Amino acid sequence: MKELKDTLWKAADKLRGSMDASQYKDVILGLVFLKYVSDAFDERRGQIETELAAEGLNAEQVAQLIDDTDEYTGRGVFWVPARARWTFLAQNAKGTQAGPGAAGPDAPGTPGAAKTIGELIDDAMELIMGSNPTLAATLPRIFNRDNIDQRRLGELLDLFNSARFTGHGATKARDLLGEVYEYFLEKFARAEGKRGGEFYTPAGVVRVLVEVLEPTHGRVYDPCCGSGGMFVQTEKFLEHHAKEGSDISVYGQELNERTWRMAKMNLAIHGLNANLATRWGDTFARDQHPELTGDRGADFIMANPPFNIKDWARSESDSRWKYGIPPAGNANYAWIQHIISKLAPGGSAGVVMANGSMSSNSGGEGEIRAQLVEADLVSCMIALPTQLFRSTGIPVCTWFFAKDKGAGTHGSADRTGQVLFIDARNLGYMVDRAERALSDEDIAKIAGTFHAWRGTASAVEAGLTYDDEAGFCYSAALAEVKAADYALTPGRYVGAAEVEDDGEPIEEKIERLSKELFEQFDESERLAAVVREQLGKVS
């Protein structure tokens, strides 16, 4: 897998010289998608041919039946017209020459006209979208633009030719390509810096939301879905727990057109039939999923909204502001209330927020937070480590909401009138100087603590029980939160971690450490004198 990723990233570098990261991202991800759908199509075509031959059909009969589109789409494989298939594009990596029939019967454009490889790829994208309604207005048609070097693009196809996503079954192929796509999203997010945060949430942060919420059924919603990472991680969670993706219905909305297209491709690769609306749009200005409300609301919501937006579509009369009108200069509490408005009666949500949201009192935010606490909607607050987001230095936390904290469907423990606080700031490890990541053990500790507190089936099965842990977790009654002026910062509640007593009296320890320090100072001075003496001899 590493070899495949390295090969494809090397391919991406072929175009790096002629365009910036945001542009070549669209080109490379589009090609990865095209390669996958074509390989998956070829694999399914071979399976059909084998099945028909096994039934005793001759070559002529097989040829008549092998192009039945239902045999492909019914198995979750996109129909790929002849001139959109990778073999055709690879054969014409340097473009086509003018001549009779050069364009082919199913290709857009003028028959017989010479075409660059960029034009052929654009045509292929158009053909695939025309043959698969779920991909309408999704795939990029940017490969014949002036800023794309057609020679390098042809070389790029040659490199992609060495990578196959199939050969281990369609499901495995989807997994491999999905992993490559996610790898590229992460690499491009790093390359684009701050803007990369618009479409990519670090995998560890997404996993915290998914592992805590355990979205195994019903309607799953993300009002600012980026490239679809929350949904992809949900699918992985279902697979890990031997459940079907068909057990959930996915709904999302995204403001940025290019990011919306990325999400559509990403979810298609992972076999998720998601309702991302017919186009991109602003969640505050025009909610594209008005059907998600009341009893038909979302069972699970996961979101990483853009932090501290100052310019947003605010209307004081909006029915979503049930707990108070959010300030004009910050949309944090607008996102929170929009999400709560979308929850079904028994629904739960996890939201990534800037740390300031836990204690801010400006613009009426303190009053809104108090109303949320008094309504017993806040289930759990988690303070996360710094530097998880390469795109921003802002410390982050996760809010978890629940419409029902009583004993029942979501757990055997009645947590009505309580809030769980987890201080996870000391978890994680440094990937490099700029970025921290959460390990599997870190995520398991966070999620396990929540599930033990809630008494969920997974906690009972694992034999987990909940106890407050100084410095890490604490279950607070609403009265305690009110006494803290409704501040929700975990550090206020969990206290300091217990320091292990090594048996050495503190006065003796200070004296010993001071003596050792002064001895090190003396040794440092001695070594400095030796170095000066030796340098004097050299000069």
The CATH number of whichever domain residue 144 belongs to comes to 1.20.1260.30
- Among 211, 215, 53, 30, CA closest to 135: 30
Specify whether 167 is located in the same domain as 303.
no
Specify whether 33 is located in the same domain as 93.
yes
The span from the CA of 359 to the CA of 341, in Å, is: 22
Specify whether 512 is located in the same domain as 472.
no
In a domain, 183, yes or no: no
In a domain, 176, yes or no: no
Element spanning 387, H or E: none
Specify whether 162 is located in the same domain as 71.
yes
User: The CATH number of the domain where 356 resides is what?
Assistant: 3.40.50.150
Task: Read off the amino acid at residue 363.
Answer: G
In a domain, 218, yes or no: yes
pTM as predicted: 0.83
In a domain, 327, yes or no: yes
147 near 18, Cβ under 8 Å?
Answer: yes
Strands in 131-230 per DSSP E: 218-222
Q: Interhelix angle for 332-341 vs 365-374, to 10°?
A: 30
Specify whether 360 is located in the same domain as 333.
yes
Specify whether 130 is located in the same domain as 236.
no
The span from the CA of 435 to the CA of 429, in Å, is: 9
475 near 466, Cβ under 8 Å?
Answer: yes
Q: What Cα–Cα distance (Å) separates residue 196 from each residue in 9, 191, 238, 412?
A: 17, 7, 27, 41
* Secondary structure (3-state) at 206: helix
Specify whether 439 is located in the same domain as 510.
no
pLDDT for position 504: 72
- Among 234, 206, 225, CA closest to 299: 234
Specify whether 490 is located in the same domain as 511.
no
The span from the CA of 126 to the CA of 107, in Å, is: 9
Per-residue pLDDT of the chain (539 residues; tens, 9 = 90+): 666 677 777 766 766 666 766 677 888 888 888 988 898 898 899 999 998 988 888 888 888 889 999 989 888 889 999 999 999 999 999 988 776 555 444 455 445 678 999 999 999 999 999 999 888 889 999 999 888 888 888 888 887 776 665 554 545 655 676 777 777 777 777 766 555 556 678 889 999 999 999 999 999 999 999 989 899 999 889 888 877 667 899 999 999 898 899 899 888 888 788 899 989 999 999 999 999 999 999 999 999 999 899 999 999 999 999 999 999 999 999 999 999 999 999 999 999 999 999 999 999 999 999 999 999 999 999 999 998 987 677 889 999 999 999 998 788 999 999 999 999 999 999 988 888 999 999 999 999 999 999 999 999 999 999 999 999 999 999 999 999 999 999 999 998 776 555 667 777 778 888 888 888 888 888 888 888 888 887 76
Specify whether 126 is located in the same domain as 234.
no
* Structural domain span for residue 527: 505-539
User: What is the number of structural domains in the chain?
Assistant: 3
253 near 303, Cβ under 8 Å?
Answer: no
Element spanning 473, H or E: strand 473-477
Q: What Cα–Cα distance (Å) separates residue 487 from each residue in 329, 330, 365?
A: 20, 18, 11
- Among 307, 477, 327, CA closest to 394: 307
Q: What Cα–Cα distance (Å) separates residue 381 from each residue in 129, 207, 245, 476?
A: 43, 16, 28, 11
- ∠ CA 141-142-147, rounded to 5°: 170
Half-sphere exposure of 489 toward its Cβ, with a 13 Å CA cutoff? 15
Element spanning 219, H or E: strand 218-222
The first and second tokens of residue 239, run together, are 């697979």
Q: What does R_g of the chain's alpha carbons equal in angstroms?
A: 28
pLDDT for position 167: 52
Element spanning 117, H or E: helix 117-131
- Among 251, 176, 212, CA closest to 402: 212
pLDDT for position 390: 74
Specify whether 224 is located in the same domain as 86.
no
Specify whether 388 is located in the same domain as 283.
yes
pLDDT for position 434: 80
The span from the CA of 205 to the CA of 451, in Å, is: 17
Q: How far apart are the first and last CA of the chain?
A: 56
